[in-house]
Amino acid sequence: MSGTEKSLDRPVRIRRMTKADIHGVWEVEKLCFPDPWSREAFEAELSGLNPTVYFVAEAENGTICGYMGVWHILDEGHITNVAVRPDCRRLGIGRQLVEAVLADGHQKGIYNFTLEVRVSNEAARALYRELGFEPAGVRKRYYSDGEDALIMWLTEKLPVL
């Protein structure tokens, strides 16, 4: 845990997202993003048509505090979304979600992951750097408001058998 995070005084359980979680995930999405994905987009992600994996961070009271999604494309993971409710931030939940996605990918033989992050999102960029992601380029005007995205990659060595 970095020195800027609070201790996790509200434990969460990291688990795979189910269709029953869509409403809670969509609520997080609306709180976190100016141009949120629709409920239908999350339903499509869980439809099984694409090789996607989503995790949620669920509080003891059942509230969805955050979520994260990744597409498995051949031997790479493309992280699509990471979001934590504003009132649950700086508790280590984002780190737990990323670590769960990476561990799940490793079990499937995926050791290379990529993502885009807003250039202005210094907290997320710092977390990704701490977890081994490195900047690899910029997507100009990537977001609907015109902000650039920093492309980051985590390239891990395959385990020696």
**Which residues are catalytic, by number?**
116, 128
Could you tell me which residues are beta bridge partners of residue 59?
12
**What whole-number distance in Å separates Cα of residue 4 and Cα of residue 50?**
36
Long-range contacts of 17-24 (CB under 8 A, 24+ apart): 17/46, 17/54, 17/55, 17/56, 17/67, 17/69, 18/46, 19/43, 19/46, 21/56, 21/58, 21/64, 21/67, 22/46, 24/56, 24/63, 24/64
**What whole-number distance in Å separates Cα of residue 113 and Cα of residue 78?**
6
Could you tell me which residues are beta bridge partners of residue 88?
none
Longest dimension (CA), the chain: 47
